[in-house]
């Protein structure tokens, strides 16, 4: 599986390497027309970071993570040897033994947490956190709720000092027949004085959409840790939109946020899932009310940081490759894959295979909005 995945464009009619080079050339022409040195400067013109500052951050992170990643690699090789592995460890061997190590050494099963993560408790804990941090109450309202697009959609009023400041829709459950996968937050309306009535301010309205399992057999929706993280993630976005104090609708809430700042509130919110006090208010057995056992909590924390340095270096490699391709181009290299591998020599412990064509499927920077901005 890893080999055909890495060889997404092995050559012949399916090789889109030439398209990558063409895209880079066209972006450089665009930069020239706009008066910028390169496309990285074009991309960062509307971001908080400059290309130089972004590269500086990537290097600082590399220095912080590299030694730990070396230790992780050594530990994994020793474990593989204990299991009878001999010879050079290939990328697919690394993935296999990393998962085997996780199962045997960490002994953590995400499914064991489901009974402790019932949606009603998770919502109560998440809203209690919002109360603690922002002095707001998130209250489900039924008597004056507007029509919704599905019976499972919930409508909340966000209050401060008893007065409404925003509204929130939550569509929590999967409906494969009519709803795409994933999770997202978006606005229904932005805070705006111009759109207010009788001199007032129109209050912001946000919606959050998730895709977790619905209640089954009289049991509430029981969530995985990843689903809880996702819920907090989208709630972080929603809070930024709902708690804005900006009355100019075009720049209030989530509007007008620099690209490399968009995920700050969501990542911040996710971190609270691993705060013991917050989790104590969330993780209660849906039948007995028992708190999450300390042993299970410790396993969750260990699993969260398992091989974190190696995973960080991988993302840094992607980010630096993106910035170099959009600032220096091929820089004398025969193909973009040579740039990718040169960056890997500095940022990765295990080097890509010779046939690796990851860039041919790197849609984030060649078909999405992350060109010279993957670092964000």
229 Cβ neighbours under 8 A, 6+ residues apart: 270, 273
Residue 1 CB coordination number (10 Å): 7
CA angle 250, 254, 260 (to 5 degrees): 115
In angstroms, the first-to-last Cα distance of the chain is: 29
CA angle 1, 227, 303 (to 5 degrees): 65
The runs of H, that is alpha helices, within 195-247 are: 225-242
Residue 84 CB coordination number (10 Å): 6
Q: How far is residue 251 CA from its own chain's centroid?
A: 24
Element holding 248 (H helix, E strand): none
Candidates 41, 72, 94, 234; catalytic one: 234
The distance between the two most distant Cα atoms of the chain, rounded to a whole number of Å, is: 77
Beta bridge partners of 184: 209
Q: Answer yes or no: 234 catalytic.
A: yes
User: Any idea which residues carry the catalytic annotation?
Assistant: 234
């Amino acid at each position: 599986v890893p080999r055909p995945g890495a060889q997404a464009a092995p050559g012949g009619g399916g090789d889109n390497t030439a398209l990558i080079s063409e895209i880079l050339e066209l972006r450089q022409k665009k930069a020239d027309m706009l008066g910028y040195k390169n496309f990285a400067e074009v991309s960062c013109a509307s971001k908080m970071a400059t290309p130089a500052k972004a590269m500086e951050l990537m290097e600082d992170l590399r220095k912080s993570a590299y030694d730990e990643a070396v230790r992780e690699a050594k530990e994994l090789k020793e474990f593989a040897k204990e299991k009878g592995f001999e010879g050079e460890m290939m990328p697919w061997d690394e993935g296999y033994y990393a998962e085997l190590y996780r199962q045997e050494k960490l002994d953590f099963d995400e499914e064991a947490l489901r009974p402790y993560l019932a949606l009603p408790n998770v919502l109560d804990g998440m809203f209690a956190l919002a109360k603690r941090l922002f002095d707001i109450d998130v209250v489900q309202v039924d008597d004056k709720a507007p029509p919704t697009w599905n019976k499972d959609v919930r409508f909340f009023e966000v209050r401060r000092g008893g007065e409404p400041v925003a509204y929130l829709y939550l569509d929590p459950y999967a409906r494969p027949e009519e709803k795409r996968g994933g999770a997202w937050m978006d606005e229904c309306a932005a805070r705006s004085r111009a759109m207010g009535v009788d001199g007032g301010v129109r209050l912001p309205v946000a919606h959050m959409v998730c895709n977790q399992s619905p209640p089954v057999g009289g049991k509430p929706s029981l969530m995985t840790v990843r689903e809880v993280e996702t819920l907090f993630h989208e709630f972080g976005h929603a809070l930024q939109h709902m708690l804005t104090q900006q009355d100019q609708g075009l720049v209030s809430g989530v509007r007008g946020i620099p690209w490399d700042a968009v995920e700050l509130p969501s990542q911040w919110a996710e971190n609270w899932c691993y705060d013991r006090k917050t989790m104590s208010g969330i993780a209660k057995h849906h039948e007995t009310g028992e708190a999450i056992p300390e042993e299970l909590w410790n396993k969750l924390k260990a699993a969260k940081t398992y091989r974190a340095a190696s995973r960080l270096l991988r993302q840094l490699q992607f980010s630096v490759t993106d910035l170099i391709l959009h600032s220096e181009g091929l820089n004398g290299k025969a193909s973009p894959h040579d740039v990718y591998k040169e960056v890997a020599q500095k940022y990765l412990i295990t080097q890509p295979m010779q046939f690796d064509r990851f860039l041919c499927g790197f849609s984030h920077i060649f078909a999405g909005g992350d060109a010279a901005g993957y670092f964000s």
